[in-house]
Amino acid sequence: MTPAEHDGSDLLAGFSAIVRRDLLLAWKRPGDALNPLVFYAMVSTLFPLATGPSQQQLLLNGPGVLWVAALLATLLALNGLFVSDYEDGSLDQLILSPQPLPLLVLGKSVAHWLTTGLPLVLVSPVIAMTFSLPTEITGILLLTLTLGTISLSLLGSIGAALTVGLNRGNALLSLLILPLAMPVLIFGARTVSLAVAGDATSSGVYFLAGYCMLNLSLAPFATAAALKISNE
């Protein structure tokens, strides 16, 4: 094995180890992973009961409600992204690790999405039925929510790193992330609305994909820098 191949395997091993560790911790604390999903389901399903059974109104409001609920549910789980590591001292070990810190925080973001964002995406087609959304838009709904929740997890890791150790980090985290998350919310909800109306949705999907790739490229480095600043 060449030195480059050896370094590559070490990086992959470090990344997979941090993802596996966070998934195991989430498995041991199922309530932390279920809270955002329950919140998302409750907000989405109670809204039709409050607005009435008008199908036209449900079709008009459904995409926006689903996206707002997904955004709030993701924010609900972000504060704990680094808190447990900060409290037990393992955050110091991550920072001092020989593995690149951006790669490790990317692994934590991936684990966060797998335990928070992915369940929201998978349950969305069922919840969409309460808004009488056509089954033909299921594919575009899943695609936009997948791209959007990945971006939210990556953006949220920056805010979680900046607020780790603060007493009222939840409120500050929301204030930091919401401006960056607004494009995801606007384009995600609008793209689903266009799909419901039978219009072209490619521009919205391209934007969400591009924004997701931008966050994937920059957010791990911003999060690593924020962790070092917060830990000083």
Q: With contact defined as beta carbons under 8 Å apart, do 147 and 208 qualify?
A: yes
Q: What's the pLDDT at 1?
A: 47
For the chain, what is the mean pLDDT? 83
Token pair 């919205």 is at which residue? 204
pTM score of the predicted model: 0.88
Tell me the percentage of the chain whose pLDDT exceeds 90. Answer: 24
Give the residue-averaged pLDDT of 89-108. 83
DSSP 117: I
Structure confidence by residue, pLDDT tens digits, 205-226: 999 999 999 999 999 999 989 8
Query: Which tokens in the block code for residue 131?
Result: 């808004």
Q: What's the pLDDT at 151?
A: 93
Structure confidence by residue, pLDDT tens digits, 139-194: 899 999 999 999 999 998 888 888 886 655 566 777 888 888 999 999 999 999 88
Greater model confidence, 35 or 3: 35
Confidence band (pLDDT; 50, 70, 90) for 88?
confident
Give the residue-averaged pLDDT of 37-50. 83
Q: What's the pLDDT at 198?
A: 84
Greater model confidence, 136 or 7: 136
Q: What's the pLDDT at 230?
A: 74
Tell me the percentage of the chain whose pLDDT exceeds 70. Answer: 90
Query: Which tokens in the block code for residue 66?
Result: 């689903």
Q: CA-to-CA distance for 105 and 218, rounded, in angstroms?
A: 12
